[in-house]
Amino acid sequence: MKLGDPRLFRQYAYIGGKWTSGDEGREEAVVNPANGEVIGHIPLLESRQISACVDAAEDAFANWRALRADERAERLLAWYDLIQQHREDLATIMTLEQGKPLPDSRGEVEYGASFVRWFAEEGKRTYGETIPSHIPNAALGTIKEPVGIALLVTPWNFPLAMITRKAAAALAAGCPVIVKPAHETPFSALALAELAERAGIPAGIFNVVLGESAPLSRQLCDDDRIKAVSFTGSTRVGRILIEQCAHTVKRMSMELGGNAPFIVGPDMDPREAALAAVAAKFQTAGQDCLAANRILVHESIHDEFVAHFAERMAALTVGDGMESEVDLGPLIHRRAVEGALSIVDDAVSRGATLVAGDQSDAPGENFFMPVLLTGVTSQMKVWREENFAPVAGITAYRDDDEVIAMANDTEYGLAAYIYTHDIRRIWKLMRALDFGMVSVNSVKMTGPPVPFGGVKQSGLGREGGAMGIDEYLSTKYYCLGAMGSVSGS
């Protein structure tokens, strides 16, 4: 791997400010999904090393929480500057381990860094409140305090930004973090740790643990010293973590799967809407929780929309993300390709039409050519499951009430898109859609000021925005009694 700063490529865990190998020497290879080449190895830590990591975080907590918010902000801003300075190396690491095209990786580094800057500032605004007292001669109010050590478990599709969106909020709030990255994409997390160290974030405050996911997470969920768990990943694993944390009653934030509807109104220009739908579906090769999976188009413009969608989709190039002019990189592994194939087969066997998507054109075993299916129905996996692949399903609807019922017919409730210029329709749909985020006439909806998150089985809590830091803060109410005559009491 050619990096301007080779020390960003670390093949160790990072615990209590020390780069750490596994005590028993167990390791795992990490491969480039585009070509199967081994990029490097990571240690698999033993249970006692995981406990040592919690010890280190516990030891570091008191001093970190005691810093003033502006002192923590200085460290975070230094981290932000370093991420920006090293963005090219960070993007290279990301493309090699995740597969996304290099320009997308650069975009993710920028996006990930933006949360660090945002929360550096937001940490200075964790205000409590004063409460008009109902108790004679008493002063009432609240203050916000850090919850304690936070475990952050993150996915492989956004290997950097899903960490910074959590970690920056937790650190700004005064909490130490233990990051458990996906084993497919550990090197972005480790590069962030290297930069956190250089930024003066003290030992024990930002830790990265590596190991077998299930036992490792179980041990940390069982540990009463961990006070919060923030998870981004599948709904299936989210349910497991919720169960595991029940008996220690931890604060939980869950950013889980999505199955976004993309609704196109009858007044829309079919071409404009189709270009937006392609952009909303195929980012990160469809491996995006916001991907427009169920494209619901008014029957009056359906055929024209499909023609434009197919034309735009045909222009997408699939290849190694390190090459120029690539739109879609590989899927993360062969299992993902097989999953996508089975979803397409299921849809076709149940009556969907395969308009485009010839897999014999795929440039390698982990690649998947974009697929367009029409006539998809709620009986098909492509409708019911989060397909997490470049598989687009389009279906026609008659009227607003029908499309609302179709869009809400899913256990997921992360994001929905509406394309129409009819203000009454916008308002009606926006209110009726059972999703945590609704984007109207815009593919882009995320960013640091935004309360990102879902309803139903897409999650609990919000990341980003003013709400994002609250996930790492406890509210302490105080009642100062016998204060004498208190004005306003």
Ligand X SMILES: N[C@@H](CC=O)C(=O)O
Ligand Y SMILES: NC(=O)c1ccc[n+]([C@@H]2O[C@H](COP(=O)([O-])OP(=O)(O)OC[C@H]3O[C@@H](n4cnc5c(N)ncnc54)[C@H](O)[C@@H]3O)[C@@H](O)[C@H]2O)c1
Strand order in the sheet with 437-440: 353-356, 371-374, 391-397, 292-298, 260-264, 415-419, 437-440
463 carries an active-site annotation: no
Q: How far is the CB of 54 from ligand Y (least distance, A)?
A: 16
User: Contact 137/489 with Cβ under 8 angstroms?
Assistant: yes
Candidates 70-78, 287-295, 308-316, 384-392: pick the segment binding ligand X (CB under 6 A).
287-295
| Residue whose C-alpha is closest to residue 229's, from 39, 477, 472 | 472
Question: In the complex, which residue's CB is closest to ligand Y?
Answer: 233
CA distances from residue 167 to 184, 196, 199, 277 in whole angstroms, order as listed: 20, 11, 14, 32
Q: How far is the CB of 282 from ligand X (least distance, A)?
A: 13
Backbone angles phi, psi at 474, to 5 degrees: -105, 145
446 binds, among ligand Y, ligand X, none (CB under 5 to 8 A by kind): ligand X
Selected from 288, 320, 400, 470, the binder of ligand X by CB under 6 A is 288
| Interface with ligand X, residue 446, by CB under 6 A | yes
Instruction: Output the furthest CA–CA distance in the chain (Å, rounded).
Output: 82
User: Contact 469/122 with Cβ under 8 angstroms?
Assistant: yes
154 binds, among ligand X, ligand Y, none (CB under 5 to 8 A by kind): ligand Y
Q: How far is the CB of 108 from ligand X (least distance, A)?
A: 9
| Interface with ligand X, residue 282, by CB under 6 A | no
| Interface with ligand X, residue 234, by CB under 6 A | no
Binding pattern for the stretch 125-164 against ligand X, x by CB under 6 A and - elsewhere: --------------------------------xx------
Selected from 192, 289, 310, 373, the binder of ligand X by CB under 6 A is 289
Q: How far is the CB of 255 from ligand Y (least distance, A)?
A: 3
Applying CB under 6 A, the residues found at the interface with ligand Y are 153-158, 162, 180, 182-183, 213-214, 217, 232-234, 237, 240, 255-258, 289, 386, 388, 414, 459
Nearer to ligand Y, 67 or 240 (CB): 240
Nearer to ligand X, 305 or 452 (CB): 452
Q: How far is the CB of 385 from ligand Y (least distance, A)?
A: 10
Selected from 140, 290, 369, 438, the binder of ligand X by CB under 6 A is 290
441 binds, among ligand Y, ligand X, none (CB under 5 to 8 A by kind): none
60 binds, among ligand Y, ligand X, none (CB under 5 to 8 A by kind): none
Nearer to ligand X, 176 or 453 (CB): 453
Q: How far is the CB of 89 from ligand Y (least distance, A)?
A: 23
Task: Please list the active-site residues.
Answer: 255
Q: Which residues of the shown chain bind ligand X in the complex (CB under 6 A)?
A: 157-158, 288-290, 446, 452
